[in-house]
Structure 1
Amino acid sequence: MEQVCWIEEIWRYPVNSLGGERIASADLIETGVIGDRRWAIVDRQTGEPAAPERDARWRPALFLSARLQYDLPEIQFHDGSWVPVDAPDIDQRLTRHFGFDVSIRPYEPFSSDPSDTKVVARHRYDVSPLHLVTSSSMEWLANLLGEDIDCRRFRPNIVLNTAGLQGLEEKAWLGYRLLMSEATMLATEETKRCGMTLIAQPSLSENPDILRSILRQNRRNFGIYASVDTAAPIAVGDPVLLERAQIEP
């Protein structure tokens, strides 16, 4: 085992495409951080989930935030109010924010009861349990662009402080196991980036050069995905150990 970094930040995104919440600790389960990306906003007419990276009418999603409260998300609107997703007027509020007919739906039913007919959302892509970025990768990109990089551009679950390392160090971890406290995970693949990286959001302006640089310098990859081997709590400050024995396919 070799300590390669430590956990600097943990993020959870209760509602896909909305701003997330920075948390001090999280419980990891097989599907990732509990409460992460379990809900979606959708076009009520078509049922299609939000896609800010390719449809400009969804870009106001980045100016809403979501947090988990008592197992259900709440959404923060421009007036500062936090509204639970089961509030009677939540769809009307979202519709006013976006300017077209919008609803919020869970990706999974609330219960296993077959009589539960609540409408659910469809995932637009294969969901990876965890997304990780490193401080050395953000420094690498910052040097290319000549400006600081905010991790919110990449919506990671875990930001790893790799002080003393340079460049895209996490690429060398693919196929190896990472240990964070009692939790273990397997680094599986690099993360293909999309237009979400360049979209404006609170305190961050639109910047197409971010995606252009990643495309030119690393074939559109930035950060890595990981699957959870051993479920357990993690916390900011936990050391991260790399198991230097590649996992057989």
Structure 2
Amino acid sequence: MAEIIGVIEQLWRYPVKSTGGERLDSVEVDERGLAGDRLYAVRDSAGKLGSGKNTRRFRRMDGLLRLSSRLGHRLDGPELFDPLGRPVADPTAFLRAYLQRPDVALAREDAVSHFDQLPVSVLTTATLDWVRGAAPAAVVDVRRFRPNILLRTPPGTPPFVEDGWFGREGGGGARLAFVRASERCAMTTVAQPGLPHAPEILKAIIQAHEGRLDALAEVVTPGRLSVGDELSLN
């Protein structure tokens, strides 16, 4: 019998990787993930993608989290907003001046995936509330953890309940296979509009849970997810 694990409280899509996202009422989910999620990124002349860290695929570009992006009902290209929330007329020209990097451009995903790990991230309110208690001096907000789904869990649900989902499938309008947790980095601590720098957040997660937070999933069956949908596990 299916086990109801919570109700979708928030849905988030991040049209441009490493920028602030848009909150949705409902969204189509395909094999790649939420439609339009991380579909674009800031790419440099070496082909590396703007991120909060340096890796084989990513290049650290400070300041991206102060920007935001939106697709709305159009998937042909994102709107980019500056740190004051004003729309940018020419995203690539703006990014070159803002980042002081003449080699960057706003690029659509091609052969190189824009996802850090897996395509869908689910975070519970139980775990988010634990972070608030573990870092009481910090301004804790769901935007720091950049999930696609914030799931409202029943009272008394323990933090890190997501760990018990790994190896199982579930969902509502779309079916997901839960695989593992995200390994958190300094992005959770970086300042963004309304949220000051907060290094104590990452420190608390590392000490309590080896830096892991949320449930990452692959899409098994495409469908539509909406705020208020129940998610269940089989």
Q: Same fold (TM over 0.5)?
A: yes
Deviation of 1:51 after TM superposition, in Å, equals 2.3
Correspondence for 1:15: 16
What pairs with 1:123-202 in structure 2 (closer than 5 Å)? 123=113, 127-147=117-137, 149-164=140-155, 165-180=157-172, 182-202=173-193
**With structure 2 as the length reference, what TM-score do the two structures score?**
0.89
Correspondence for 1:62: 65
Q: Distance in 1 between matches of 2:30 and 2:115?
A: 20
Letter in 1 for 2:128: M
Deviation of 1:42 after TM superposition, in Å, equals 2.2
Provide the aligned C-alpha RMSD in A.
2.1
Query: Secondary structure at the residue paired with 1:95?
Result: helix
Letter in 2 for 1:76: F
Percent of aligned positions with the same letter in both sequences?
Answer: 32
Q: Distance in 1 between matches of 2:68 and 2:50?
A: 14
Correspondence for 1:82: 87
**Cα distance per residue 1:74-106 (max 9 Å; x no partner):** 1012454324xxx6x432211121122221111
Correspondence for 1:114: none
1:215/1:221 contact within 8 Å kept: yes
2:17/2:51 contact within 8 Å kept: no
2:53/2:60 contact within 8 Å kept: no
Q: Distance in 1 between matches of 2:82 and 2:192?
A: 14
Query: Secondary structure at the residue paired with 2:205?
Result: helix
Q: Distance in 1 between matches of 2:153 and 2:18?
A: 27
1:49/1:123 contact within 8 Å kept: no
Letter in 2 for 1:176: R
Query: Secondary structure at the residue paired with 1:50?
Result: strand
Letter in 2 for 1:82: P
Larger Rg: 1
Q: Distance in 2 between matches of 1:57 and 1:226?
A: 25
Query: Secondary structure at the residue paired with 2:50?
Result: coil
Q: Quick one: which of 96, 106, 109 aligns to 2:108?
A: 106
2:174/2:222 contact within 8 Å kept: yes
**Cα distance per residue 1:100-131 (max 9 Å; x no partner):** 222111112xxxxxxxxxxx7x4476541201
Correspondence for 2:195: 204
Runs of 4+ that moved beyond 3 A: 53-57, 78-81, 122-127
Q: Distance in 2 between matches of 1:161 and 1:67?
A: 24
Task: Note the residue ranges of structure 2 that are not aligned, 5 or more in a row.
Answer: none
Letter in 2 for 1:129: P
Task: Note the residue ranges of structure 1 that are not aligned, 5 or more in a row.
Answer: 109-119, 244-249
